[in-house]
A and B are shown apart, each in its own frame.
Chain A
Amino acid sequence: MTTNAECRNVRELMDSYIGGELTVESNHEVLRHLERCDACRSELARRERTRALLIGSFGDAPDAAVLEARIGEAIDREQPMWKRVMRYGGIAAALAIVIGAALWLSRPVDAAAYVDSVDNHIACALAFPPDAAYDARRAEESLAAPYTGIINAAPHQSGDYALIDAHMCPYNGRDYAHLVYRRGEHTVSVFAETAARGRLPSTHEPERKGFVSTGVSTGGHQVFVVAEGAAPPPQPVLDDLMSATLAFVRRLER
């Protein structure tokens, strides 16, 4: 016996089922329903036929051998130019590195960078209720450009730590993109912000109020991972969170 509500739910999932994009659990749910429901089996057959007709309406994949050869020749014609650019570019790049390093070292130091990341972790991340769960819509609405894509770049699960929220988090004149992860009573924050106040200090307190903050600067941005000093997540989790966020801000800088 099936109900209209079950049918509606299965039909919502049906296209993803055809495309093989469902989780194992949802896939089983659809299969179980299809075993019992003639109407949805018929609907599935019609949708599969629609998709097959759509694909068929475009005809066979075109022969691309001639085009492949043309592209290969065009690339080979470009290569000598690029080699020249590389050769002369090498000198320019060396000069740029020297000038860049001098400018970098003369930048002001963002002395409160680590302190603010820990204090905001305490003020914001630890205030989430124990049963807080990730809400994709809330996260999408709470983030702002250029950080909206961070929820797709960051892992939603790393080890036993699950993402429970992502939002813009103004704090002490900073504008952090803040990702909050949790495992039971243990909470970890990942902050990304533009490096508007200068470079990271070369030394900082190893632990503040029981929390440790690890910071990395990419030049245009700085990323912090804040965790409990006494019970930090395993190193692979810390590396995972840091590297995914760094990859995201580096893409912003391209």
Chain B
Amino acid sequence: MARTAREQFTDEAMPHVRALLRTASRLCGTREAAEDLVQDTFLQAWRSFHRFEPGTNCRAWLYKIMLFSHSRSRRDQSRRPFQVDLDAAGEKALLFEPPTPDAITAASVRAAFDALPEPFRLAVLLVDVEGLTYREAADALDAPIGTVMSRLNRGRRLMRLALVEEAAAYGIGVSAQGERKRQ
């Protein structure tokens, strides 16, 4: 017997509520704002569910809707276009491959992540934290896969660079081959 659209939506989309809420919490900062964003996302997804092609990646589709809603609401709030000079931000990360220092903590890693420009942070969040594939992240961000890979690469390097700089501030250095030494 053919399933109703509501049943299909329940089977295809609803299992992703928890994952989207987790990402939304990271984007919005507060649980309340995150829940509102996820609810809006699922209502929009339901209204356009007739356009969803069964068999394609529902999770990436939902992320795409949510990230678009989030960036639109941020633009509305700031009343000006959101712009980051990605070339300038990523240039530093291309100069060399910084080794990861030993002395890292969850707080220092999180601070390095929070300091990333938003496009890099989103790519790292979706792939390294949420576990989306490069392809899924490209669909969710509505960007070519090469762009996502480049943002990921730069974002990870910028994080390592920030961790190296923090370690150096505490007098801990890392050699080119990654061996720790006291300065």
Contact = CB atoms under 8 A, between A and B. Distances in A.
A67 B17 contact: yes
A67 B22 contact: no
A55 B129 contact: yes
Interface string A31-62: 00000000110110011011101111110011
Interface string B144-181: 11100000110010011001000000000000111100
B178 A46 contact: yes
A12 B154 CA distance: 11
A148 interface: yes
A42 B109 CA distance: 18
Given A15-B152, A50-B159, A151 B144 contact: yes
B182 interface: no
Given A54-B113, A62-B25, A148-B144, A68 B17 contact: yes
Contacts of A67: 17, 21, 35, 38-39
Nearest to A54: B109
B101 A54 contact: no
- The DSSP consensus for interface residues of chain A is helix
A140 B146 contact: yes
B155 to A, nearest CB: 10
A56 B124 CA distance: 14
Contacts of A79: 6
Contacts of B146: 136, 140
B128 A78 contact: no
Contact of A53 (B26, B46, B109): B109
Nearest to B42: A71
Looking at A21, A68, A75, which has the most chain B CB atoms within 10 Å of its CB?
Answer: A75
B178 A21 contact: no
A129 interface: no
Given A43-B178, A46-B102, A140-B146, A57 B107 contact: yes
Interface majority SS on B: helix, strand, loop or mixed?
Answer: helix
A33 B126 CA distance: 28
A140 B38 CA distance: 34
A63 to B, nearest CB: 8
Interface in A53-105: 53-58, 61-64, 67-68, 70-72, 74-75, 78-79, 82
B35 A54 contact: no
A61 B38 CA distance: 14
A15 B149 CA distance: 11
Contacts of B178: 39-40, 42-43, 46
A46 B38 CA distance: 34
Residue from B19, B128, B159 whose CB has the most chain A CB atoms within 10 Å? B128
B105 interface: yes
Interface string B42-55: 11001100010000
Given A53-B106, A53-B110, A78-B43, 9 more contacts: A12-B97, A15-B152, A42-B179, A43-B99, A46-B101, A50-B159, A50-B163, A78-B46, A82-B47
The 9 closest A-B pairs by CB, nearest first: A46-B100, A39-B177, A57-B110, A64-B18, A43-B178, A53-B109, A53-B106, A57-B106, A71-B42
18 contacts: A7-B177, A8-B97, A15-B128, A21-B134, A46-B102, A53-B104, A53-B105, A54-B109, A54-B124, A61-B18, A62-B18, A62-B22, A67-B21, A68-B17, A71-B39, A75-B42, A82-B47, A254-B51
